[in-house]
Structure 1
């Protein structure tokens, strides 16, 4: 229903965008364009207001009395640049709350903010609506060299937002390998049962069997081998099963590059059937919780953090959150990062993004020159001063003392229990969600710690103190195992058939696969499910995806 709502609203947006006549269209600019980033002001003489919208997600917290509209970040922006951040509206709760409100706003042709930072498929709708500027030339003119260098390191960053006549959203760069899967296993359970860490899928099954049947807690309570949730997808960001399918050379829920140079949907490949059979066996043996098919990623994670499951799969940074909750909940609990296992034919694979970006920034078609310059002044500063700060800089230790770091004498502290009132990350308040990130910097820094390197730069010192050693080891695992990556290759806008059929096709596959795992549908039905997927629009989507891929590759050449 959400997708249908979006499609109908998009039609309305396209119909009325051309005759839009809101207040933003009448705004006049007080500044003239400049030729390069070096000519941008450091601070504006007259106040500049940036209109924004934001979803205040569950991982965003505030000091007493502060709000997203008035906090340490908004004050810093005002004091540093003379920029006022004006939140036209915000949402909280589930992510789709924000999407729904924005869809309704677009359908009603309400005024959009001057700067739109989104992590949403609605980005593509906004681009197609004609209500945002072409930003390729603007970026080349106004972005700092550090920002440009970081962007150039990711050749696929712009793919999602490129049209024949230009680029319409600026990618928000993320750290590379930030979502690549490792296994986290209860080390205290392994030690108690005299078990070694796994190397193969058979090893994993042996460990899970022991975790279920040999009372690793010593209490007689019911325990499970693996915390996994596949209500949303088999290949997801946490509590994921991507590695199970990777052990058979498959990767569902994404578009993969085939040997013939074409893109193919990973969920319909024959090897997926082997992964489903494995998960079905695990369900029958009680290795995974019987409600796993109803759980999202967070709910499944709670099975591990409550001390009731022995293995969970997800990104290397999970020891910082949410796995740290296990240590609070269970006395004496320990966990350790392990490499994903190999399958019976020697395969081992993890899902990864082809691009290191997480969201994008669009500029309202009616934005003034002041607003455009203000955004670049702000974001350039973060790339030059926050992404990899120098000794003595204002961000040497973090964004704000008493929030994401504090001092105990001369010693800087980063952990939640070391900062009075708990750790609060003001960088989550920033326009691009995470301040500014240089893709390759972070993961290699943590991996080097696991190899025994000592921190030298302010960024390295911060990472060294902020992330636990289990995260270092997880980072080393994914860096050393880069060859196991199976990248999702499609990053474009939804194709025409996707808009009309994607939800139906996804639901068909999800429900069929879930029934196969639960033993409610024979695995022999896999082939007929695939054929139904193809005949119900899947073949058309495959053709459209490959047309997009061919165009992107030609443009890159």
Structure 2
């Protein structure tokens, strides 16, 4: 789930500070770096940027302004880059504080498209068309039109997008040794999935004589349930086309059917009763690793995480990917990720937009391989034609992702070699391809509408809470339609009207 959420997996970076103090602390170090006019010949141009730490720390003796990968960018762009990492736990709040300051940075990075749309409409961000045309050849070549469309407003580009490398996240994995022990075949249809889930919960698939196994894992906020919504032709929190118009997936009858299916599993004790408390990094993963779970919707990289840990603990464990559950109407699939995962913006007052574009153009172009993979013959090397990673060096330089993620681009060949170097047995690349063949796309890819900024956050929280209550039986399923009418009155009708005003225009007039 959560296809529109930018999940940075963030951790604390620094203590929060007050607004007035923050502006002084942040921008006084950069105030001397803002003006490049009249600089002596050969002196580096100076820019200040605000980015996310992604929850990654630096090796001893290094920081965001002193490390080999920043040096590499500066050397190849002739820039002197001042980097600031706001506290992770209040990152967006700090961006908002900065936007009220009289001394703004030259670039801010955000993963929030609503934040972007709000400041574009307020006229506080600089259009970047001219600078991209002059200094952004790699950006223009490597970023596709659909990504540029997402950052275009009234015909002008207001952000440089960073791309999602993967098009989808979830796929089903099962313990084949459990299937074999119970005489079951890998499930394909929703009915077959139900039989396997019931058997795993009730028939002692691990053979230990205890009633200690779970049929299906679901996380808090209905995470890892996407394939079961897909079996009914829907996904949560998406815009789908019905009869030539866009409708919000959460209010469709198909979504009600999916909720009813999950309620059935819960009522029969095939989903554990405390699933709303399953957080990815503790209860959820622990249950996979410990061997009490044999079927779940994995991420494409879980084969290198909890599945690998479970196999190391239990050599008998044999995990295989499954076909997505096919519903009674023949539907199947999972949500697709937003092609854009981050946005780089330049405040309207900055005189250094050209330098920002030069930096991002290098990150996406000539510098992409070294920033993405690490330095060759240090972090990785070619051996017999294959890329081999030194994991100790790789882990020490993970911080390079703070810079590469500013202008990530898609390079399928490099991505396959990179993923294979992490261990071909994990099937990371194959997992991605399996997901890509089963995506249910979101049909709305414009800037968030004004009503979205006003209503959507509250509506999403209300819908999520209601669906969970229906699954656990606190709220009757019969009340689904009544809730839909309430959500429409509480802002969804206004959002739907704006979305369709956008959708029904000719594609060339949507931006």
Question: Smaller-chain TM-score range?
Answer: 0.7 to 0.9
Q: 1:402 to 1:150 in 2, by over 3 A?
A: closer
Taking the aligned partners of 1:428 and 1:306, their CA distance within structure 2 comes to: 31
Aligned: 1:68 with 2:40: no
> Are the counterparts in 2 of residues 263 and 546 from structure 1 also a CA contact under 8 Å?
yes
Residue 195 of structure 1 contacts residue 207 of structure 1 at CA under 8 Å; is this kept in 2? yes
* C-alpha deviation, 1:221, in angstroms: 6.0
Partner of 2:361, secondary structure, is helix
Structural mapping, 1:184-263, within 5 Å:
184-219=173-208, 220=210, 222-231=212-221, 234=222, 239-258=223-242, 260-263=243-246
Q: State the shift of 1:64 in Å.
A: 3.4
Instruction: Encode CA deviations 1:432-459: one digit per residue, 9 max, x unaligned.
Output: 34x5322xx43xx5xxxxxxxxxxxx66
In the other structure, the counterpart of 1:30 is: 37
- Paired with 1:309 and 1:137, the residues of 2 have a C-alpha distance of 55
Q: CA RMSD in A?
A: 3.3
SS of equivalent residue, structure 1 residue 52:
strand
Deviates more, 1:497-506 or 1:523-532: 497-506
Secondary structure of residue in 2 paired with 1:182: strand
Give the Å deviation of 1:401: 5.4
For these two proteins, the number of residue pairs brought into alignment is 478
Q: How many angstroms apart in 2 are the aligned matches of 1:129 and 1:326?
A: 51
Partner SS, residue 432 of structure 1: helix
CA distance in 2 between counterparts of 1:54 and 1:328 reads: 37
* Alignment correspondent of 1:46: 43
Residue 405 (structure 2) pairs with residue 432 (structure 1): yes
Distance 1:385 1:88 in 2: 24
Deviations 1:469-521 (A, max 9, x none): 43233233234x3xx42211223333333333223322322222111100111
1:279-320 CA deviation, whole Å, 9 max, x = no partner?
Answer: 011112222222222345545344324433222224423324
SS of 1:206 mapped into structure 2: helix
- Runs of 5+ consecutive residues of structure 1 not aligned to the other structure: 1-11, 13-22, 33-43, 446-457
**Residue 56 of structure 1 pairs with residue 48 of structure 2:** no
- What is the distance in 2 between the residues matched to 1:66 and 1:188? 47
Does the alignment pair 1:478 with 2:420? no
1:535 alignment partner in structure 2: 489
- 1:117-156 residue pairs with structure 2 within 5 A? 117-120=109-112, 121-144=114-137, 146-152=138-144, 155-156=145-146
CA contact (8 A) 1:189 1:310 kept: yes
Structure 1 residue 118: Cα displacement: 1.4
- Secondary structure of the corresponding residue to residue 319 of structure 1: helix
Q: 1:349 aligns with which of 329, 333, 337?
A: 333
User: What is the rounded CA distance, in whole Å, between the counterparts of 1:163 and 1:279 in structure 2?
Assistant: 41
Q: Does 1:270 align with 2:253?
A: yes
1:36 aligns with: none
How far off is 1:542 after superposition? 0.7
Distance 1:109 1:548, change over 3 A: farther
Distance 1:129 1:281, change over 3 A: same
Relative to structure 1, is the Cα distance of residues 130 and 431 closer, same or farther in structure 2, using a 3 angstrom cutoff? Answer: farther
Is 2:160 the partner of 1:170? yes
Residue 66 of structure 1 deviates from its aligned partner by 2.7
| Counterpart-to-counterpart distance in 1, 2:65 and 2:329 | 55
Structure 2 vs 1, CA of residues 286 and 415 (structure 1 numbering), >3 Å: closer, same or farther? farther
Please, which runs of 5 or more residues in structure 2 have no aligned partner? 1-18, 20-29
Partner of 1:307: 291
Equivalent of residue 462 in structure 1, options 400, 412, 418: 418
What is residue 277 of structure 2 aligned with on the other side? 294
Task: Compute the TM-score of the two structures, normalised by the length of structure 1.
Answer: 0.76
Question: Secondary structure of 1:86's match?
Answer: strand
Q: Is 1:366 the equivalent of 2:373?
A: no
State the structure with bigger RCO (CA 8 A, min sep 6), 1 or 2.
2
Question: What's the CA shift string for 1:317-340, capped at 9, x where partnerless?
Answer: 332456444445555544222221
1 CA distance for matches of 2:263 and 2:308? 30
Q: 2:388 aligns with which of 399, 413, 431?
A: 413
How far apart, CA to CA, are the structure 2 residues paired with 1:495 and 1:463? 37
2:171 maps to 1:182: yes
Counterparts of 1:555 and 1:26, CA distance in 2: 39
Kept after mapping to 2: 8 A contact 1:403/1:424: no
1:28 Cα offset (Å): 3.9
Match of 2:363 in 1: 382
Q: Distance in 1 between matches of 2:317 and 2:390?
A: 19
For 1:66 and 1:340, locate their aligned partners in 2 and report how far apart those are by CA, in whole Å. 45
CA shift, 1:184, in A, is 1.9
1:406·1:412 contact (CA, 8 Å) conserved in 2?
yes
C-alpha contact (below 8 Å) 2:59/2:396 kept by paired residues: no
Match of 1:336 in 2: 320
Change (3 A) 1:504 1:26: same
Residues 252-296 of structure 1: per-residue CA shift (max 9 Å, x gap): 2111122x2211000000111110111011112222222222345
